[in-house]
């Protein structure tokens, strides 16, 4: 029985941080309920492709190697280019034009490697991911801090948190319920503007949380008040029921590096604490098609209408209550699977 009424959505999704993939490197990935191979050729171009070699099915992410701008299969040495075309069969004079691997459009933006996924491979990118000054400036901002979580819940359940102003008080113990001033959607772009009171050891500070989403996989949040903090939150569906959440933070420089990084670290730890608090709710909640809302609840139904546009196969409508699987079906991993990484660690190891 399905956990959710939603299929895997389409959009741009983060599949790695730029610093995780050096030229010549090959990584196995599993997203969109598919086995994938992510590799960077020696010219620096990034490729995401279906994992299985069309010859006899070897997984190119396990033992495949980069040869210039091509990838070589570990099983019988066939090579494929970035478009997935067979370029050489080392023990034959000819190539096999039918041996083709699906390739996904990729971009490297804001320090993230992102791929376009749509269940129909003929449907190319429908919107762009903006370049953010805060993550591309040479100075004025702290080194980015990265966190990765695996959550046993659909991306939509995580994203719905943004529309849920009331939960901040009860799940995260914020002093007051943040006030959502505006929520609107324009195609794949959704905008949320809110004011918020931040609890600090020295009392409550007035602040703001402003969020811009471009599709299901990319949200840019600006926190202001205590310190200007910028967050890229990227949900990547592992399958219909599970997603990987990626956070990349930067803090506007406070003058000296030591203060900036300690204030930034405190902020990152607070957001991390919130995700860990949300985890058990997300993983164990039912998805109610017709929630019983208070008149002062956030814009849930507007959010759900916006989210529904990303399901190419439509949303299933044969049930009103979608429950989690029986206890013991999955083990919660709501702890960071990668504690921290940053540009300072570029090229050192992989997740
Ligand atoms: S399975 Fe890839 S070359 Fe044979
Ligand atoms: Fe939350």
Ligand 1 pocket residue status of 88, Cβ below 6 Å: no
**Same domain as 171, residue 24:** no
Q: Is the predicted pLDDT of residue 344 greater than 70, yes or no?
A: no
Q: With beta carbons less than 8 A apart as the criterion, state whether 141 and 134 touch.
A: yes
Average pLDDT value over all residues in the chain: 91
Residue 160 φ/ψ region, left for φ over 0, alpha for ψ in the -120 to 50 degree band, beta for the rest: alpha
Give the whole-number percent of the chain exceeding pLDDT 90: 74
Residues whose Cβ atom is located within 5 A of ion ligand 2:
161, 278
Q: CA-CA distance, 40 to 29, in Å (whole number)?
A: 13
Ligand 1 pocket residue status of 95, Cβ below 6 Å: no
Q: Is the predicted pLDDT of residue 181 greater than 80, yes or no?
A: yes
Question: How does 72-94 read in b/e, with b if 16+ C-beta sit within 10 Å?
Answer: bbbeeebbbbbebbbbbbeeeee
Q: Is the predicted pLDDT of residue 320 greater than 90, yes or no?
A: yes
Which of 26, 53, 63 most suits a substitution to test ligand 1, by most atoms within 8 Å of the C-beta?
53
Range of the domain at 100: 11-117
Residues 233-272 have pLDDT tens digits of 999 999 999 999 999 999 998 888 888 888 888 888 988 8
Closest by Cα among 130, 103, 135, 131 to 118: 103
In which element (H, E) is residue 198 found? strand 189-200
Ligand 1 pocket residue status of 55, Cβ below 6 Å: yes
Q: What is the mean pLDDT of residues 49-74?
A: 98
Distance 169 CA to ligand 2 centre (A): 9
Closest by Cα among 176, 182, 171, 180 to 197: 176
Domain termination residue (choose one: 83, 117, 151): 117
Quote the pLDDT of residue 340: 43
Q: What is the mean pLDDT of residues 310-333?
A: 92
Strand-by-strand arrangement of the 86-88 sheet? 65-67, 70-72, 79-81, 86-88
**Same domain as 84, residue 225:** no
Residue 222 within a domain: yes
**Same domain as 191, residue 82:** no
- Mean pLDDT lowest among 128-132, 195-199, 302-306: 195-199
Q: CA-CA distance, 242 to 264, in Å (whole number)?
A: 29
Residues 84-97 have pLDDT tens digits of 999 999 999 999 99
Residue 285 within a domain: yes
Domain termination residue (choose one: 56, 85, 117): 117
Which of 37, 64, 78 most suits a substitution to test ligand 1, by most atoms within 8 Å of the C-beta?
78
Q: Is the predicted pLDDT of residue 342 greater than 80, yes or no?
A: no
Distance 56 CA to ligand 2 centre (A): 45
Based on the structure, what is the number of domains in the chain?
2
Which of 49, 50, 56, 71 most suits a substitution to test ligand 1, by most atoms within 8 Å of the C-beta?
56
Distance 53 CA to ligand 1 centre (A): 6
Residue 129 within a domain: no
Give the whole-number percent of the chain exceeding pLDDT 70: 95
Distance 196 CA to ligand 2 centre (A): 14
Residue 255 within a domain: yes
Residue 4 within a domain: no
Q: What is the mean pLDDT of residues 282-300?
A: 95
Q: If pLDDT is split at 50, 70 and 90, which confidence band does 138 have?
A: confident
Residue 5 within a domain: no
Tell me, what CATH number does 238's domain have?
3.90.380.10
């Amino acid at each position: 029985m399905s956990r959710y009424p939603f299929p895997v959505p389409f959009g741009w999704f983060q599949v790695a941080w730029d610093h995780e993939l050096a030229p010549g490197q090959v990584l196995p990935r599993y997203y969109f309920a598919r086995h994938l191979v992510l590799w960077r050729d020696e010219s620096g171009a990034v490729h995401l492709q279906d994992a299985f070699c069309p010859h006899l099915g070897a997984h190119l992410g396990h033992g495949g190697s980069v040869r210039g701008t091509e990838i070589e299969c570990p099983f019988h040495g066939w090579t494929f280019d970035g478009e997935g075309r067979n370029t050489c069969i080392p023990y034959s004079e000819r190539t096999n034009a039918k041996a083709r691997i699906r390739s996904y459009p990729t971009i490297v933006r804001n320090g993230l490697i992102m791929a376009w996924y749509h269940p129909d491979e003929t449907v190319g990118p429908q919107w762009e991911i903006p370049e953010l000054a805060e993550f591309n400036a040479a100075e004025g901002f702290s080194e980015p801090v990265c966190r990765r979580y695996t959550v046993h819940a659909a991306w939509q359940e995580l994203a719905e948190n943004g529309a849920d102003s009331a939960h901040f008080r009860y799940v995260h113990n914020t002093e007051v319920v943040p006030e959502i001033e505006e929520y609107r959607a324009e195609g794949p772009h959704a905008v949320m503007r809110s004011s918020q009171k931040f609890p600090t050891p020295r009392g409550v500070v007035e602040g703001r949380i402003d969020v811009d989403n471009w599709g299901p996989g990319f949200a840019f949040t600006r926190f202001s008040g205590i310190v200007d903090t910028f967050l890229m939150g990227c949900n990547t569906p592992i399958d219909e029921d599970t997603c990987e959440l990626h956070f990349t933070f930067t803090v506007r420089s406070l003058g000296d590096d030591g203060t900036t990084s300690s204030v930034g670290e405190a902020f990152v730890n607070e957001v991390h604490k919130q995700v860990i608090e949300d985890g058990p709710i997300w993983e164990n909640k039912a998805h109610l098609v017709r929630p019983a809302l208070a008149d002062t609840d956030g814009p849930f139904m507007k959010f759900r209408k916006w989210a529904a546009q990303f399901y190419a196969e439509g949303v299933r409508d044969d049930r009103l209550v979608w429950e989690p699987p029986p206890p013991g079906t999955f083990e919660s991993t709501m702890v960071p699977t990668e504690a921290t990484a940053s540009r300072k660690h570029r090229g050192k190891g992989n997740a």
